[in-house]
Amino acid sequence: MNSGARKRNLRRYLVAGVLVWLPILATLWVVVTLLHFMDLALLLVPPAYRPEKLVGFSLPGAGAVLALVVVLLTGLLVTNLIGRRLIVWGEELLNRIPVVRTVYGSVKSLAESVLSQSNSFRKVVMVEYPRAGAWSIGFLTAEDVPEVSEKMREPHVAVYISAALNATAGYLVVVPRRQVVELEMSVDEAMKMIITCGVVVPPAPHAHATKAPVAKPAA
C-alpha cells in the first residue's frame, strides 16, 4: 500500500470516527447543561432538605425532577376554578408593570402559540428572502396579519426565518400569501437542515405526495 492510499484510509477512518463521536458528545453536552441548569431549582429548597444534606451527596437531575413536579402541580392548580382566578389576578398585577407586562405578554403568547394546537411553527415554508431569486426556509407563525392584509389589500402571512447554527436568532418577515411555498418536510427536518447550514438535507417527498405549487420570483 503506497503512502497516498494510507493517507486516504487514515482520513476516512478519522472522518468516520468523528461522525460517530461528535453527535454523541454534543448530545451529552446538551443534556448535562440542561440538567445543571434545572438543578438550580434546588436553590428554592431549604438547605436542610436538599439532597446533599439528606443523602450526603448531590444527585444530578434532582432539580429536573423538582421542576417537573412543580410544573405538574402548577398545571393541576390552574385547571380548577380557584387556580384560574389566582392566575387572572396575578396577570392583572403583572400587566400594571410597564416593562414586565411586555416581556410576560410576549413570552406567554409565544408559549401558547407553540404548545397549543394552532399551526404556528408547524408548517415549513419557503419565501423569497432576502432578494428575488434567493429562497429562504422558514416557519409559518401566523396565517393572517389582519392590519397588513387590509392595508395591502391582499392576504399576508408571518414567517419566521431562523438563522443558521443558532435557531433562536432569526428574522420575522410578513409576505403575501401567494408568495409562500409550503414544503412537505417536517419541522424537525427543517431545523436540522438550518442548524447544519444545509449539510443535512431531508430526502425528497414520496412521488405520490401532492407537491406545493412553486411561486414565481418577484419581478
Strand partners, 173: 159
Asked if 192 and 200 touch (Cβ cutoff 8 Å), the reply is: yes
Per-residue pLDDT of the chain (219 residues; tens, 9 = 90+): 577 777 788 888 888 888 888 888 888 888 888 888 888 777 777 888 777 777 777 777 788 888 888 888 888 887 887 777 888 888 888 888 888 878 887 777 767 666 665 556 778 999 998 888 899 999 998 888 999 999 999 999 999 998 887 767 788 999 999 999 999 998 888 888 888 888 888 888 764 444 445 555 444
With 0.75 as the threshold, say if the pTM is over it. no
Asked if 140 and 123 touch (Cβ cutoff 8 Å), the reply is: yes
Q: What is the dihedral of CA 33, 34, 38, 39, to 10 degrees?
A: -40
CA dist., res. 117 & res. 107, Å (int): 17
Q: Shortest CA distance to 65 belongs to which of 38, 44, 47?
A: 38
Question: In the block, which residue shows the cell 436538599?
Answer: 50
Q: Shortest CA distance to 214 belongs to which of 179, 173, 190?
A: 179
CA dist., res. 86 & res. 89, Å (int): 5
